[in-house]
């Protein structure tokens, strides 16, 4: 079987982008009998991005409830919270000791953070933490701990996957621990949704359409999606439209063809938004009701997470012991 792994950072409320880009495809994958899936809540990643304890805590419940509400079967997959598996942090340190600083210097995300700080007149060396700098190492630990073969990612994460392979390769050469070299899988049909401000929809940018906001709010959020100034009757370019991008993520083939024609015929933006709301709401209303119920039952959600942690540690604990022995931290194997 192929092992796949996906994480969501607990840095805010899950949004349409997380659903379309990660949760929906992951749940489809998990039904494939040839796949053994690991899905986790990346809470130690969250503190890289936000220092608001309330936000991290609320997000943890929201992210967990979202996975469950979307139909994740926790008997089929291993579903856990990163911080419940202390071996991941332990492995992260080990990997840090095998990773050249120069490799991290080259990370696009790190370089982008440096550039952004310089542009704002900040001292990047003060503003950027070691957590942000070395986060590809934590990501490598997440992946290598469970010997994942495939990691579905957005294009921006491909480089980090190459780094994880690099680090695994070094470990294998030096200590013969037998890490699986993970591969990035970039979903060609999976869209990266834009947020309400035109940047990538992202929890940390506060530009999102929350996945399970109440129906009337969802309608309002969809009405806020940016459109250009074209009038009704003027042909509109579907391939340059956030509205159409979201439509595609929820529609079947014939609905996609239909909306493409409507765009070419110059459908009014208001009408397109109304139809988009109806399509999205139809798919989300069942899961939304389950989500609302789960949010009122944190004890149940917690019990699922504890169950997942036990399952994950059945692998992580003996695996980490092997790594310790390979390094001489424990009697040599």
**What residues form the annotated binding site for L-tryptophan?**
142
The H-or-E segment that residue 79 falls in is: strand 78-81
In the bound complex, what is the minimum distance in angstroms from residue 20's beta carbon to ligand ATP? 5
Alpha carbons 13 and 213: distance in angstroms, whole number: 10
Bridge partners for 36 per DSSP: 3
- The nearer residue to ligand ATP, 22 or 301, going by C-beta atoms, is 22
From the number of C-beta atoms within 10 Å of its C-beta (0-12, 13-18, 19+), residue 127 rates as middle
Alpha carbons 169 and 32: distance in angstroms, whole number: 29
Residue 3 and residue 150 in contact, taking contact as beta carbons nearer than 8 Å: yes
- The nearer residue to ligand ATP, 17 or 94, going by C-beta atoms, is 17
User: Which residue ranges are tagged as binding site for ATP?
Assistant: 9-11, 17-18, 154-156, 193, 200-204
- The nearer residue to ligand ATP, 210 or 238, going by C-beta atoms, is 210
Cβ-closest residue to ligand ATP? Answer: 21
In the bound complex, what is the minimum distance in angstroms from residue 332's beta carbon to ligand ATP? 39
DSSP for 263-318 reads HHTT--HHHHHHHHHHHHHHHHHHHHHHHHHHHT-HHHHHHHHHHHHHHHHHHHHH
In the bound complex, what is the minimum distance in angstroms from residue 257's beta carbon to ligand ATP? 23
The H-or-E segment that residue 37 falls in is: strand 35-42
In the bound complex, what is the minimum distance in angstroms from residue 273's beta carbon to ligand ATP? 19
In the bound complex, what is the minimum distance in angstroms from residue 295's beta carbon to ligand ATP? 19
* Token pair for 10: 């607990």
In the bound complex, what is the minimum distance in angstroms from residue 204's beta carbon to ligand ATP? 3
* Token pair for 120: 């704002």
Specify the length of the chain in residues: 333
- The nearer residue to ligand ATP, 42 or 323, going by C-beta atoms, is 42
- The nearer residue to ligand ATP, 100 or 186, going by C-beta atoms, is 186
* Binding interface with ligand ATP (CB under 6 A): 6, 8-9, 11, 17-18, 20-22, 49, 153-154, 192-193, 200-204
Q: Which residues contact 257 (CB under 8 A, 6 or more apart)?
A: none
Residue 3 and residue 77 in contact, taking contact as beta carbons nearer than 8 Å: no
- The nearer residue to ligand ATP, 203 or 236, going by C-beta atoms, is 203
């Amino acid at each position: 079987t192929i092992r796949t792994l996906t994480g969501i950072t607990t840095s805010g409320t899950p949004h349409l982008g997380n659903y379309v880009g990660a949760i929906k495809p992951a749940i489809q994958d998990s039904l494939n009998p040839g796949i053994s899936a690991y899905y986790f809540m990346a809470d130690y990643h969250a503190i890289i991005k936000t220092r608001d304890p309330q936000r991290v805590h609320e997000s943890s419940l929201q992210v967990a409830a979202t996975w469950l509400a979307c139909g994740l079967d926790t008997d089929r997959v291993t579903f856990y919270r990163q911080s419940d598996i202390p071996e991941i942090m332990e492995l992260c340190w080990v990997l840090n000791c095998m990773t050249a600083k120069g490799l991290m210097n080259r990370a696009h995300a790190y370089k982008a953070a440096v550039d952004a700080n310089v542009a704002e007149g900040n001292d990047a060396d003060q503003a950027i933490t070691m957590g942000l700098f070395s986060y590809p190492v934590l990501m490598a630990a997440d992946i290598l701990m469970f010997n994942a073969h495939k990691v579905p990612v957005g294009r921006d994460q491909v480089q980090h996957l190459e780094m994880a392979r690099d680090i695994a390769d070094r470990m294998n050469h030096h200590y013969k621990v037998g890490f699986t070299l993970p591969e990035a899988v970039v979903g060609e049909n999976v869209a990266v949704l834009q947020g309400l401000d035109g940047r990538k929809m992202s929890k940390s940018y506060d530009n999102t359409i929350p996945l399970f906001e109440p129906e009337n709010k969802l309608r309002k959020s969809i009405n806020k999606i940016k459109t250009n100034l074209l009038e009704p009757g003027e042909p509109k370019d579907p391939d340059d439209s956030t509205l159409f991008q979201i439509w595609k993520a929820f529609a079947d083939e014939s609905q996609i063809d239909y909306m493409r024609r409507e765009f070419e015929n110059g459908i009014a933006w208001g009408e397109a938004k109304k139809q988009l709301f109806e399509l999205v709401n139809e798919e989300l209303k069942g899961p939304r009701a389950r989500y609302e119920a789960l949010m009122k039952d944190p004890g149940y959600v917690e019990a699922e997470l504890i169950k997942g942690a036990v399952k994950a540690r059945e692998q992580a604990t003996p695996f980490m012991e092997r790594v310790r022995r390979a390094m001489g931290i424990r009697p040599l194997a």
